[in-house]
Structure 1
């Protein structure tokens, strides 16, 4: 697995969802069609683990979170950027999703959750915000961001 092969793999899902609104219906669809145990979920999970192992994914670190944008938003990914983070029992920086965010949760520790959600897909609508949090272990989380849009915020302590 390398970055071009990863891009081809991710474009399979971004092609399928490119024109679908980011909402709970999309989340339900993704979990029904491509949830844990499905062929595409397992391919993406294995590709992410290989990318971390080989050093081209999650190749930056700050405050205990490994992360990195592996693909910019281009036509090849149907306007989605792709970031992957590795987190263990930690909350990340608060941010807003101007155009929404689609997350693929891949627990490395059985039972690990992202924003209180188990393995699978999570969709945040445009304008939503959160402080991404992994609990009960370690997980990889893949973020699809329409047009690569994300705004990090400063919250009062």
Structure 2
């Protein structure tokens, strides 16, 4: 799996969601059309696992979390940035999503890992939402897309 092939996979998905509100309807649509058990989910998960194994995904580590921005927001990705994190039974730093956030939750191995209490599949946070991202009950990769790459880390929340 090359970084360019992964870019093409993500671009095909962002083309389908470009311009849509980041809300519960998008969350439901993503899970119905591209959720756990779908070809899209399987392909993205395999690509992320390969990227981690090859060292071009999650190349940084801090506070027990492996992470990395794969692509900055650009026109080819319909103005979404793409990051992937590797987390196991840990809460990450609190942050705000000025324009929202779209997450793909991919438990690893036989794990029943959940992200913010959500199982394998998609989770959409609307603009202005905030959280302390938490993976429980195992290890998961989480791909997240941010409109315009916007994220604001907060102190102490």
| TM-score normalised by the chain length of structure 2 | 0.98
Residues in 2 aligned to 1:32 and 1:20: alpha-carbon distance in whole angstroms: 16
Query: Which SS does the other structure have where 2:105 is aligned?
Result: strand
Q: What displacement does 1:82 show?
A: 0.2
Aligned counterparts of 1:37 and 1:128: Cα–Cα separation in 2: 28
Q: What is the Cα deviation at residue 92 of structure 1? A: 0.1
Give the 3-state SS of the residue equivalent to 2:87 in structure 1.
Answer: strand
State the 1:3 CA deviation: 1.1
Matches within 5 A, 1:1-157: 1-108=1-108, 109-155=110-156
In structure 2, how many angstroms separate the alpha carbons of the residues matched to 1:130 and 1:98?
12
| 4+ aligned runs moved over 3 Å, structure 1 | none
Segments of structure 2 that go 5 or more residues without pairing to the other structure are none
In structure 1, how many angstroms separate the alpha carbons of the residues matched to 2:106 and 2:64? Answer: 18
Which SS does the other structure have where 1:19 is aligned? coil
CA offsets per residue over residues 42-89 of structure 1, 9 Å max, x none?
000000000000000000000110000000100110000000000000
Aligned length: 156
